[in-house]
């Protein structure tokens, strides 16, 4: 065992978007020893008074994935693309390394669960009764490498479901009800949404964002435009929009007008001249601590950020249509872009130079924290297993002393709770030894696992609409994102997908196979394929799931990975609230298909791995990849893991960040929201660092 005492100010576990944002923002700031304050490095006037922050990051993925010099990053990313081309199944994880020592959940491993026997095929151990249908990837940059890139904000009512609609959930192992409102509201998060949209580089048109909310567009966005102009909506989207313009659907005897909205997206388009100059996110000192702001003093024009290896590649979306699982040119944002900003800083000659105070250790799986026996509030050690290669399970055990460090868990919503649950320690209470797990006074670690359940409906448009072109989705139907019905069943958002039937029916391969079985060949086969593929339409209903303490990640020593670390054990089910929403979404789909003259080809069968009967009708769902809720933030330590700044209630030097902090899911893709509150958490981290560095 290697005991490391090389002191670091901050230790970050994970290089996904949460970890990379924190690393970038912290390394943009330095400690002014004369003022005793954290300041942005651009404001540092006297080098002799500056103390740099020392930051160490751990990444479970391969070393190649975090080599961000131009040659290495291009070589590595090109290998991802080559792998993607050769894989038969183009699922989200297909381009990326399959690591024996650090496996990832993969949707290809998902099986139907037959209780009481778990599905143990993949990395996740699934006890069900329903399968959790989403995956993630352990790689430099995290799951942003294969996200779609859609970036709507949450709506104001998403933060206050109890206050607005009276929704409450059971407390763990109890019939007693508990509220589910966030400890912060939309207004609090709004400036951080703007910072996240700047860092990601969001394209969109604020004037076209229509939502079923009581707030006006001015109240919701203020005097604001996105950094880049909207990505053009597809030809298919325009045909559907024209067919549904001015119409509505009827649900629960209520007429709901159809709102067709161009989706904000984290991919490059034309910089918006109204956005102004480029900006920096910097901390300002206030009486209560620090406040991050978007500083508008820079003189450089805002510019789309291209690929990690070449800023002039990927400056514009090229419409490659493979956003999930990989953008070939990196026009779509991924967290490696932010990580590179942390790793490379401008020197006095305005040249990029490798930052010597940020160290990233790859092939390093953090699996446990130690709580200091002498000070049981403090995290004193981080335990790491560093493996040799992707195909071998040899590892070196490393223990990092964190007594004088801030520890930040920034892994995904499977890995963060797994680490915490594996971090056991003993306390004496009333003369008795009691075993506890880190940050888990509330018994909420691992609980409230959520995802958007994706119900797909598909059919043939009466005329060609030419799918399979452009980004995966450029338009969404926002009509069902909020409304009084939420007291009865889930809200949802409905992206229009530009992928034909590739997701539900494996088109175009399945179409070719079917026509060949019918004996078609040559010109006849070509004509049949052209007719079918050009008319394929896919509607997509992302249905909100409520927090449920019984939907959870646990660990069990019976189920270990190749490094001898517990695998995530998943318990997951759907409630009446979500099942009824799927019924209502299908009714909405039926009405829209009828208005558009679409021949409905949707089929849910008993053979589907993720299927159920509701009111004697079969429905099937998919995962959205929106894994949230396993270390929720809250207003007090009795019902949450962290406060609203993602700081653990139980340990003053521990932060737990990422989608797991989300109290509820809402109807938006979670990446933008988790980025916003992660940026906000840096205010608290800077305040803690000030105290630490003054000692």
Residue among 664, 216, 674, 276 at smallest CA distance from 449: 664
pTM of the model: 0.97
Domain for residue 187, yes or no? no
What pLDDT does 253 receive? 86
With respect to residue 455, please indicate whether it lies within any of the assigned structural domains: no
**685 pLDDT more than 90:** yes
pLDDT confidence tier of residue 346, bands split at 50, 70 and 90: confident
On the question of pLDDT at 404 being above 80, the answer is yes
- As a whole number, the mean pLDDT across the chain is 95
350-399 pLDDT tens trace: 678 999 999 999 999 999 999 998 887 899 999 999 999 999 999 999 99
Q: Is the pLDDT of residue 504 over 70?
A: yes
Q: Contact, 554 vs 670, CB < 8 A?
A: no
Can you tell me the distance from the alpha carbon of 31 to that of 399, in angstroms, rounded to the nearest whole number? 27
Is 423 part of any domain? yes
Extract the tokens encoding 641: 């893991």
Q: Which two tokens stand for residue 456?
A: 């797909």
Torsion of CA 356, 359, 360, 366, to 10 degrees: -170
Nearby residues of 513 by Cβ (< 8 Å), 6 or more positions away = none
pLDDT of residue 111: 93
Tens digits of residue pLDDT in 96-109: 999 999 999 999 99
Q: What is the pLDDT of residue 376?
A: 75
pLDDT digits (tens, 9 = 90+) for 223-250: 999 999 999 999 999 999 999 999 999 9
Q: Are 673 and 153 in contact (CB under 8 A)?
A: yes
Please tell me the distance from the alpha carbon of residue 23 to that of residue 55, in angstroms, as a whole number.
Answer: 7
pLDDT at 351: 74
Say if 325 falls within a structural domain.
no
**Stretch 334-346: mean pLDDT, rounded?**
95
Residue 349 has pLDDT above 80, yes or no: no
Q: For strand 364-371 and strand 358-361, is the pairing parallel, antiparallel, or unpaired? A: unpaired
pLDDT band at 2 (very low <50, low <70, confident <90, very high): low
Residue 365 lies in a domain: yes
pLDDT band (50, 70, 90) for residue 688: very high
**How many C-alpha atoms does 187 have within 13 Å on its Cβ side?**
4
Per-residue model confidence as pLDDT tens digits over 264-289: 999 999 999 999 888 899 999 998 89
Residue 364 lies in a domain: yes
Domain assignment present for residue 368? The answer is yes
User: In whole angstroms, what is the distance from residue 464 CA to residue 623 CA?
Assistant: 29
What's the pLDDT score for residue 430? 85
Number of folded domains in the chain? 1
Percent of the chain past pLDDT 90, that is, above it, reads: 91
Residue range(s) defining the domain that contains residue 429: 10-65+354-447+675-694
Q: What was the pLDDT predicted at 317?
A: 96
CA distance 247 to 592: 9
Instruction: Please write the tens of the pLDDT for every residue from 451-491.
Output: 999 999 999 999 999 999 899 999 999 999 999 999 999 99
For residue 634, give every residue at least 6 positions away whose Cβ sits within 8 Å of its Cβ, in sequence order, or none: 183, 442, 640, 641, 642, 643, 663
Q: Is 652 a domain residue?
A: no
Distance CA 29, CA 595 (A): 56
- Is the pLDDT assigned to residue 617 strictly greater than 70? yes
Q: Domain containing 400 — which CATH number? A: 3.50.50
pLDDT tens column, 629-672: 999 999 999 999 999 999 999 999 999 999 999 999 999 999 99
Q: How confident is the model at residue 113 (pLDDT cuts 50, 70, 90)?
A: very high
Yes or no: say if 336 and 16 are a contact pair by the CB < 8 Å rule.
Answer: no
Tell me the per-residue pLDDT of 531-560, one tens digit each, with 9 for 90 and over.
Answer: 999 999 999 999 999 999 999 999 999 999
Residue 686 has pLDDT above 80, yes or no: yes
The stretch 584-605 carries a mean pLDDT of 98
């Amino acid at each position: 065992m290697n005991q490391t005492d090389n002191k670091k100010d901050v230790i970050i576990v994970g290089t996904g978007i949460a970890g990379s944002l924190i690393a970038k923002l912290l390394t943009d700031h330095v400690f002014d020893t004369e003022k005793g304050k954290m300041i942005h490095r651009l404001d540092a006037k006297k080098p002799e008074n500056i103390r740099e922050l020392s930051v160490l990051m751990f990444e479970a993925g391969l070393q190649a994935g975090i080599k961000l010099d131009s040659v290495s990053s291009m070589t590595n990313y090109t290998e991802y693309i080559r792998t993607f081309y050769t894989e038969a199944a183009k699922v989200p994880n297909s381009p990326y390394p399959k690591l024996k020592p650090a496996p990832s959940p993969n949707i290809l491993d998902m099986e139907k669960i037959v209780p009481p026997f778990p599905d143990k095929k993949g990395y996740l151990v699934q006890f069900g009764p329903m399968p959790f249908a989403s995956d993630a990837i352990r790689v430099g940059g995290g799951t942003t490498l294969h996200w779609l890139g859609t970036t709507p904000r949450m709506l104001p009512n998403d933060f206050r479901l109890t206050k607005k609609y009276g929704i409450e959930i059971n407390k763990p192992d109890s019939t007693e009800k508990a509220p589910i409102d966030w400890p912060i509201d939309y207004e609090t998060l709004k400036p951080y949404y703007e910072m996240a949209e700047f860092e990601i580089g969001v394209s969109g048109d604020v004037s076209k964002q229509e939502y079923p909310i009581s707030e006006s567009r001015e109240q919701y966005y203020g005097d604001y435009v996105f950094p880049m102009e909207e990505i053009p909506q597809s030809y298919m989207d325009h045909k559907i929009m024209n067919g549904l313009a001015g119409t509505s659907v009827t649900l629960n005897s209520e007429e709901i007008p159809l709102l067709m909205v161009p989706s904000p997206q984290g991919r490059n388009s034309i910089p918006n001249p109204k956005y102004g100059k480029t900006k920096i996110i910097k901390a300002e000192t206030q009486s209560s601590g620090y406040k991050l702001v978007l500083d508008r003093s820079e003189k450089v024009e805002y510019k789309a950020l291209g690929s990690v290896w070449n800023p002039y590649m990927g400056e514009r979306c090229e419409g490659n249509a493979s956003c999930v699982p990989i953008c070939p040119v990196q026009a779509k944002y991924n967290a490696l872009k932010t990580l590179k900003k942390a790793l490379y800083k401008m020197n006095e000659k305005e040249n990029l130079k490798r930052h010597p105070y940020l160290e990233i250790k790859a092939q390093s799986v953090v699996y446990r924290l130690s709580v200091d026996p002498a000070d049981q509030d403090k995290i004193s050690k981080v335990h790491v297993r560093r493996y040799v290669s992707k195909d071998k399970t040899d590892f070196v055990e490393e223990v990092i002393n964190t007594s004088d460090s801030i520890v930040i868990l920034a892994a995904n919503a499977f890995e963060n709770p797994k680490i915490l649950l594996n971090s056991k320690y003993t306390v004496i209470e009333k003369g008795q030894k009691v075993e506890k797990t880190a940050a888990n006074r509330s018994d909420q670690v691992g609980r409230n696992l959520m995802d958007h359940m994706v119900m797909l409906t598909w059919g043939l448009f009466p005329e060609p609409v030419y799918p399979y072109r452009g980004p995966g989705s450029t338009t969404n139907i926002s009509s069902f994102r909020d409304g009084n019905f939420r007291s009865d069943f889930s809200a949802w958002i409905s992206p229009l997908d530009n992928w034909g039937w590739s997701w539900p029916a494996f088109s175009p391969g399945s179409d070719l196979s079917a026509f060949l079985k019918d004996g078609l060949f040559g010109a006849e086969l070509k004509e049949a394929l052209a007719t079918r593929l050009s008319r394929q339409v896919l509607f997509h209903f992302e249905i909100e799931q409520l927090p449920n303490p019984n939907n959870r990640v646990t660990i069990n020593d019976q189920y270990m990975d190749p490094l001898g670390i517990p695998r995530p054990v998943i318990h997951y089910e759907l409630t009446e609230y979500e099942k009824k929403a799927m019924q209502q979404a299908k009714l909405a789909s039926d009405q829209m298909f009828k208005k558009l003259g679409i021949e409905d080809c949707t089929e849910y069968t008993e053979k589907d791995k993720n299927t159920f009967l509701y009111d004697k009708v079969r429905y099937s769902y998919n995962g959205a990849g929106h894994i949230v809720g396993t270390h929720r933030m809250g207003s007090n330590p009795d019902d949450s893991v962290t406060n609203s700044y993602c700081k653990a209630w139980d340990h003053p030097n521990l932060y737990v960040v990422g989608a797991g902090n989300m109290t509820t899911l809402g109807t938006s893709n979670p990446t933008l929201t988790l980025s916003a509150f992660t940026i906000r958490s840096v205010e608290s981290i800077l305040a803690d660092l000030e105290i630490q560095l003054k000692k």
